[in-house]
Chain A
Amino acid sequence: GNSVTQMEGPVTLSEEAFLTINCTYTATGYPSLFWYVQYPGEGLQLLLKATKADDKGSNKGFEATYRKETTSFHLEKGSVQVSDSAVYFCALTASGAGSYQLTFGKGTKLSVIP
Chain B
Amino acid sequence: DTAVSQTPKYLVTQMGNDKSIKCEQNLGHDTMYWYKQDSKKFLKIMFSYNNKELIINETVPNRFSPKSPDKAHLNLHINSLELGDSAVYFCASSQDHNEQYFGPGTRLTVT
Contact = CB atoms under 8 A, between A and B. Distances in A.
Interface string B1-23: 00010000000000000000000
A109 B101 CA distance: 21
Contacts of B44: 104
Contacts of A109: 41
B104 A100 contact: no
Interface residues of A, number: 25
Interface of B is mostly: strand
Contacts of A100: 31, 94, 96-97
Interface string A40-71: 00111110010000000000000000000000
A107 B42 contact: yes
A46 to B, nearest CB: 5
B27 interface: no
Contact of A93 (B50, B97, B103, B104): B97
Contacts of A44: 43, 90, 92, 102
A12 interface: no
A98 B50 contact: yes
A102 interface: yes
A14 interface: no
List the 3 closest pairs (A to B, CB-CB), nearest first: A100-B97, A44-B102, A43-B102
